[in-house]
Amino acid sequence: MERLEFRLLGFPEFRLSGRPVKLELRKAAALLIYLAEASRPVAREVAATLLWPEADEETARARLRRTLYKIRVAFGEEVIAASGTSLCLQPALSVEADTKVFEHACNFGRLDEAGDIYGGDFLAGLSLPDCPEFEEWAFFRREGLRSLLVQALERLTEAKIADCEPRAAIVHARRLVGLDPLSENAHRHLIRAYLLAGDRAAAERQYETCCKLLAEELGVPVNRETTELLEVTEKLATSVQTRYAARNGIHLAYQTVGEGALDVVFVPGFVSHVERAWDDPRGRAFLMKLAGLGRLVFFDRRGVGLSDRIGAPPTVEATAEDILTVLDAIGSRRALLIGASEGGPGCIRFAAGWPKRLAGLVLYGSLARGSRSEDYPFVLTPAQYDAWLARLVAQWGGPSEIETFAPGLADDRQARSWWAGLLRAASSPGAIRAVLAALRDTDVRSLLSSIRVPTLVLHRRGDRAVRFDAGRHLAEEIPSARFVELDGIDHWAWAGDQDAVIDRIRTFAAQL
């Protein structure tokens, strides 16, 4: 069976069994294209009227016959089956049109393929100004295909972001903006892709371009949603700046946000990045709520984020020293120390060694020992821990273990992309292995009974990363500690119901 191919995305091209066929008459090309797109018989009167609207019926029919002859000559055979009343492509031919292949790829989710097929707009460069009905038909067909491409590019951009491929997302988003420069949604996709790629300067330039286009062409300002994408940039550029504190040759990156009589020092889990933390809307909201309690201070411990890499494992003693270094740098005398997850043991060590520097201690989703022992059954065995660590390192570069840390966000594309980007920016696989190996060997149980500062222990019942019983154990062993059970399954404090966490901390801080 011979194969008749139509390339209609861009200037139209025709092939018969792989052989290019040139049609000099534009209306001959238009007739073939119309029949291919119709995929069914078309009445002769309809075709004649479509292509020769100004001619009388007899003249139009005569011109149609001559056009059919020209097509037969060009192809060297009869590719149109003509009866006395209708026209259609020869049923004996295998017909393929790139427009149909493109639509099929879109409908079945083969988005990369769809993007590759779309080489240009439908019938780009082919115009029949004396055939208004054909031009109208081509216009609506063109717009329908462009709309499909826009949807495909939007889905591709989101998928590439979700798959932690921001550079690929940028390519698709740029094409999206090129299709419709006045689409604010397209600009938002590109801004988001730039941000997730860590190119904040490009994101800001794209935002400025969007503002200018909308103002000059449409006379409207950008929506609040677009502005919010870059609000963090403005805050970081003004009041939230990364600074460095040093002790014994080790430099620690830290930030302070807000002001107040109370310093609120937040020590995150095993990995952090003081600048990338702002890129997640949930994390950003959580940090700003903490800043509402006083002057928020948060930092990257040695070995991760923007702080110095070191040759020795970051022990709890080292983390306690890092806390002291940052407190001294900002001139803090008494602070509320919040240790989340693996940040908790270092905070426990600091509270035991420097109690006069603290107004209170909050431990969220934390633990006292890194691996299981006979008298501490709340965590993984050393073998299980090593297996988990191997899996985490093997998946590094992607949203590693998000199903454990934040199961409620496991299907959230933005959260997955942010987490993967933060991991890549904060550490390398080999470096994080050393950090977590140190945690496996951590044991601060002997310090718990010596803590005399007011202490609040918060733990979610369904926490999959650190078992609920580990939090209960902390509260039982720390004198006068207050234990609060929270609903939820997410380990990250900012995932799930973050307001429940903030409200408990706010109430506790008000009583200090």
Domain ranges for the chain, please list them: 3-117, 241-510
**What is the predicted pLDDT for the residue at 39?**
85
Residue for token pair 């650190």: 466
Three-state DSSP at 301 gives coil
Backbone angles phi, psi at 411, to 5 degrees: -100, 5
Phi and psi at 496, nearest 5°, equal 70, -145
**CA pair distance 312, 160, nearest whole angstrom:** 37
Tokens for 37, please give them. Answer: 């797109």
Q: Where are the beta strands (DSSP E) in 90-186?
A: 94-97
For residues 270 and 191, what is the distance between their CA atoms, to the nearest angstrom? 29
Contact 164, 398 (CB under 8 A): yes
Which residue is it, tokens 């390192």? 393
| Other beta carbons less than 10 A from residue 369's beta carbon | 20
Domain 3-117, CATH among 1.10.630.10, 3.10.450.50, 1.10.10.10, 3.40.190.150: 1.10.10.10
For the domain covering 241-510, report its CATH number.
Answer: 3.40.50.1820
Residue 335, helix vs strand vs coil: strand
Non-local (6+) Cβ contacts of 356 within 8 A are: 334
320 contacts 293 by C-beta, under 8 angstroms: no
Per DSSP, the residues of 47-106 read: HHHHH-TTS-HHHHHHHHHHHHHHHHHHHTS--EEE-SSEEEE-TTSEEEEHHHHHHHHH
Q: Is the dihedral of CA 223, 226, 232, 236 positive or negative?
A: negative
**H-helix segments, 399-456:** 402-405, 413-426, 429-440, 445-448
The model's pTM is: 0.59
Residues 150, 106: contact at Cβ < 8 Å?
no
How far is 409 from 416, CA to CA, in rounded Å?
A: 8
| Local structure of 443: helix, strand or coil | strand
What span, in angstroms and rounded, lies between the C-alpha atoms of 307 and 272? 10
How far is the CA of 499 from the CAs of 175, 273, 286, 434, 487, in angstroms? 39, 23, 8, 34, 12
**Structure letter (DSSP) for residue 300:** P
Distance of CA 411 to CAs 163, 172, 273, Å? 11, 22, 23
State the pLDDT at residue 436. 87
pLDDT tens track of the chain, all 512 residues?
A: 799 999 999 999 999 999 999 998 999 999 999 999 998 999 999 999 999 999 998 999 999 999 999 999 999 999 999 998 999 999 999 999 999 999 999 988 898 999 999 999 999 999 999 999 999 999 999 999 998 999 899 988 888 766 657 788 899 999 999 998 999 989 999 998 888 776 778 888 999 999 999 999 989 999 887 887 776 545 544 456 889 999 988 999 999 988 888 999 999 999 999 988 888 878 888 888 898 899 999 999 998 999 988 766 778 999 999 999 999 999 998 899 999 999 999 999 999 999 999 999 999 999 999 999 999 999 999 999 999 999 998 899 889 999 999 999 999 888 898 898 899 888 888 888 888 888 888 999 999 999 999 999 999 999 999 999 999 999 999 999 999 999 999 999 999 999 999 999 999 999 98
Q: Are strands 455-460 and 482-486 parallel, antiparallel or unpaired?
A: parallel
